[in-house]
Amino acid sequence: MALSQRESARQARGKIEQKAVFRLGHIFSRLEDDYYVVYSYGYHYPMFVYHKLTDTWYENTTKYSHTTTCHKNSARPDNVILLGRTTRQIMDILEGK
């Protein structure tokens, strides 16, 4: 039986906190150089980014859709400080700008 979007997002939270590569429903992650990146639906919307070298977490603050907002709220890692950045700012970070 397929997981609901909310169940997938809740399970994703544990994977995100472990910085594990996963795919659960429409949420997935990957390692990109010195970054751990969590996406919702596609590469156009990185929800969370962890920079290994600076031990820094970023959260995308750009509103996208109701479903992506639900993904972010349910999957947001606990006990970490998330620095808010827009989608463009996160893309610039990932591109080394």
What is the DSSP track for 45-60?
-EEEEEETTTTEEEEE
Phi, psi dihedrals of residue 7, rounded to the nearest 5°: -65, -40
30 vs 19, 35, 53, 97, CA distance in Å?
Answer: 9, 8, 16, 20
Please check the confidence at residue 50 and state whether its pLDDT lies above 70. Answer: yes
Best CA proximity match to 18, nearest among 5, 6, 31: 31
Please check the confidence at residue 18 and state whether its pLDDT lies above 90. Answer: yes
Phi, psi dihedrals of residue 29, rounded to the nearest 5°: -135, 165
pTM of the predicted protein model = 0.88
Q: What pLDDT sits at residue 35?
A: 97
Q: What is the mean pLDDT of residues 46-61?
A: 96
Q: What pLDDT sits at residue 1?
A: 42
Q: Which sequence spans correspond to the domains of the chain? A: 5-94
